């Protein structure tokens, strides 16, 4: 049974230990790291720990693997978690389909244990997984090939099986020769019960290492003190992200898409790139707000037919009189108007349109009920996002200034929402601040220093990340 855990880490809990960076891994780009063990380690006892936020489901997505051993640690094509070493050691019954939060994974192996069930264990967010579809622990005192001399160790991919990861990987540990408890890497917050990271202070062993992805020019740096030399496989400085377990950013929600044409959207690049496979498709983000002021940017990639805005989660449905429009959402239309999907709109004055090289900024003032859009840093319709209740040049999505029969009411939760018009294969690049493939020249952040944007968010507006949501949401 799928479980969306209450204790899943969404990055808003302060621990005194901040994870500043992750690395974005993309299956289509075959991205990852590898190194070859130069000496023999402990082949009976080891521990692996890491944090991972998924951005694509299905397929085989290994996080940790070893060449010529068959060792695979990661998600199977049915979204279950597996450990494989020449045969399946275990596969969970539970599936893992939450793409809005980081999972903390700890795999312990100790073949010296006399009790078979103690030889291999999996912990997810601090809780042992005991409901298993496959449970075949190795024999007692077996020497597995892990930590063997000459083993090629893969992080994020397993090329011989064509398995590659999609998501954000952070704080990776390989501990050689020890069974390390999950509580050495994380703890439950005493107020919320959420599992949160803490600093590991133990040793690493002969072949152990730690990856923090702190240096964008050397994402393969081992910071355990052992100075392992890892090789980069199609990974560059552009893959460094600030989307982490201690500050989780909004991304596109791959589980929620509407289609007028009945097709599916395609999500890549850490769920910051969306491609419509049919016409008039809708997509949304993973974070919702009911108050505060929020900012993000986007860019049309293949044509101008994209409409960025906001919508009410769990209320979307095609308009009863016109299935080309979606109720409970509003957006900037590329032909120069702010559109509420129910055939209500205001025309921008002067009229403005955009193309594939333009960056559109979206500023939502949920405290006063207005949304503003900018093209390449200039606010459309003479908009002034800091005008408060006046809403100068803004779109009143509650309905006041348009006189429309608006379905969105004050206090509704709003979520970033995007629509493509009747243009199959229209693509949009998103920047919520944690990662983007939009080329950023100015590296602007909000007033709290979060997010990396092309244009500075207006005063009082913040990036959609959990540290900001905790304070302003």
Q: Does the pLDDT of residue 409 top 90, yes or no?
A: no
| SS3 state at 238 | helix
Query: Do the domains 22-241 and 252-472 sit in the same CATH topology, yes or no?
Result: yes
Tell me the average pLDDT of the chain. Answer: 85
Q: Among candidates 58, 47, 238, 231, which has minimal Cα distance to 156?
A: 231
Give the Cα-Cα-Cα angle 231, 431, 459 (nearest 5 degrees): 130
- The strand pair at 293-300 and 186-188 is best described as unpaired
Q: Does the pLDDT of residue 373 top 60, yes or no?
A: yes
Q: Among candidates 395, 398, 407, which has minimal Cα distance to 320?
A: 407
Preceding amide of 350 cis, omega within 30: yes
Q: Which residue has the tokens 């294969």?
A: 425
Least confidently predicted of 2-11, 58-67, 296-305, 371-380: 2-11
CA distances from 320 to 9, 283, 325, 384, 412 (A): 39, 19, 9, 34, 21
Let me know: does 361 contact 378? Beta carbons within 8 Å.
no
Bigger pLDDT: 319 or 292? 292
Q: Which residue has the tokens 């967010």?
A: 125
Give whichever of 60-69, 176-185, 353-362 has the largest mean pLDDT: 176-185
Predicted local distance difference test score (pLDDT) of residue 213: 96
Q: Does the pLDDT of residue 146 top 50, yes or no?
A: yes
In whole angstroms, what is the distance from residue 262 CA to residue 280 CA?
A: 10
In whole angstroms, what is the distance from residue 51 CA to residue 196 CA?
A: 10
CA distances from 111 to 45, 215, 393, 427 (A): 7, 36, 67, 50
Give whichever of 333-337, 396-400, 414-418 has the largest mean pLDDT: 414-418
Give burial (CB, 10 Å; 0-12/13-18/19+) of 116.
middle
Q: What are φ and ψ of residue 91, in 5° steps?
A: -140, 130
In whole angstroms, what is the distance from residue 38 CA to residue 222 CA?
A: 15
Q: Does the pLDDT of residue 149 top 90, yes or no?
A: no
Predicted local distance difference test score (pLDDT) of residue 261: 45
In whole angstroms, what is the distance from residue 68 CA to residue 113 CA?
A: 25
Instruction: Tell me the pLDDT band of 219, cut-offs 50, 70 and 90.
Output: very high
Class of domain 252-472: mainly beta
Least confidently predicted of 12-26, 128-142, 238-252, 454-468: 12-26
| SS3 state at 184 | helix
Helix (H) or strand (E) run with residue 330 in it? strand 329-333
Predicted local distance difference test score (pLDDT) of residue 164: 84
Give me 30's structure tokens: 């075959």
Predicted local distance difference test score (pLDDT) of residue 387: 97
What pTM does this model have? 0.92
Let me know: does 50 contact 173? Beta carbons within 8 Å.
yes
In whole angstroms, what is the distance from residue 260 CA to residue 436 CA?
A: 27
Give per-residue pLDDT as tens, 102-145.
999 999 999 999 999 999 999 999 999 999 998 889 999 998 87
Predicted local distance difference test score (pLDDT) of residue 424: 65
Q: In percent, how much of the chain has pLDDT > 70?
A: 85
> CA 74: distance to chain centroid?
17
Domain spans in the chain, listed from the N-terminal domain onward: 22-241, 252-472
Q: Does the pLDDT of residue 201 top 60, yes or no?
A: yes
Let me know: does 45 contact 125? Beta carbons within 8 Å.
no
Instruction: Tell me the pLDDT band of 318, cut-offs 50, 70 and 90.
Output: very low
The CATH T-level fold of domain 22-241 is Jelly Rolls (2.60.120)
Q: Does the pLDDT of residue 242 top 90, yes or no?
A: yes
Least confidently predicted of 195-199, 332-336, 380-384: 332-336
Bigger pLDDT: 320 or 212? 212
Instruction: Tell me the pLDDT band of 69, cut-offs 50, 70 and 90.
Output: low
In whole angstroms, what is the distance from residue 229 CA to residue 38 CA?
A: 10
DSSP characters for 10-79?
-S----S-----EEEE-GGGT-EEEEE-SS---SSEEEEEEEEEES--SS-EEEEEETTTTEEEEE-TTS
Q: Does the pLDDT of residue 344 top 70, yes or no?
A: no
């Amino acid at each position: 049974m799928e479980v969306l855990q209450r204790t899943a880490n969404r990055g808003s809990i302060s621990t005194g230990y901040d994870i500043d960076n992750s690395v974005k891994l993309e299956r289509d780009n075959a991205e990852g790291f590898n190194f070859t063990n130069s000496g023999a380690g402990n082949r009976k006892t080891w521990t692996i720990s890491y944090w991972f936020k998924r951005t694509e489901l299905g397929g085989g997505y290994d996080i940790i693997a070893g060449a010529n051993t068959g060792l695979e640690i990661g998600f199977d094509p049915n979204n279950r978690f597996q450990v494989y070493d020449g045969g399946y050691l275990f596969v969970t019954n539970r599936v893992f389909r939450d793409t809005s939060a980081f999972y903390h994974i700890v795999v312990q192996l100790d073949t010296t244990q006399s009790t078979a069930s103690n030889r291999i264990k999996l912990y997810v967010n601090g809780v042992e997984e005991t409901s298993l579809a496959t449970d075949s622990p190795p024999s007692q005192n077996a020497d597995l090939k892990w930590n063997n001399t000459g083993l090629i160790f893969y992080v994020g991919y397993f090329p011989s099986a064509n398995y590659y990861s999609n998501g954000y990987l952070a704080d990776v540990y390989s501990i050689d020769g020890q069974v390390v408890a999950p509580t050495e890497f994380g703890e439950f917050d005493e107020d919320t019960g959420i599992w949160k990271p803490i600093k590991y202070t133990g040793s690493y062993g002969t072949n152990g290492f730690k990856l923090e992805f702190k240096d964008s020019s050397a994402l393969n740096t081992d910071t355990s003190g052992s100075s392992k030399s890892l090789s980069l496989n199609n990974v560059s400085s552009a893959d460094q992200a600030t989307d982490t377990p201690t500050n989780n950013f909004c991304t596109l929600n791959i589980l929620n898409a509407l289609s007028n044409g009945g097709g599916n959207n395609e999500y890549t690049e850490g769920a910051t790139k969306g491609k419509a496979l049919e016409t008039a498709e809708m997509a949304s983000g993973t974070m919702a707000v009911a108050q505060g002021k929020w900012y993000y940017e986007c860019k049309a990639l293949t044509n101008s037919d994209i409409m960025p805005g906001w919508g009410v989660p769990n209320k979307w449905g095609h308009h009863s009189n016109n299935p080309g429009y979606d109720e409970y959402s509003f957006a900037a239309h590329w032909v120069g108007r702010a559109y509420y999907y129910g055939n209500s709109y205001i025309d921008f004055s002067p009229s403005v349109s955009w193309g594939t090289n333009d960056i559109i900024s979206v500023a939502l003032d949920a405290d006063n009920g207005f949304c503003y859009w900018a093209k390449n840093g200039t606010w459309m319709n003479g908009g002034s996002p800091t005008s408060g209740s006046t809403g100068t040049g803004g779109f009143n999505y509650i309905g006041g200034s348009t006189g429309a029969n608006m379905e969105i009411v004050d206090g509704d939760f709003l979520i970033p929402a995007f629509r493509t018009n009747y243009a199959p294969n229209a693509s949009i690049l998103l920047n919520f601040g944690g990662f983007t493939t939009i080329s950023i020249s100015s590296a602007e952040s909000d007033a709290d220093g979060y997010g990396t944007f092309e244009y500075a968010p207006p005063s009082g507006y913040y990036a959609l990340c959990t540290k900001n949501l905790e304070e302003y949401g």
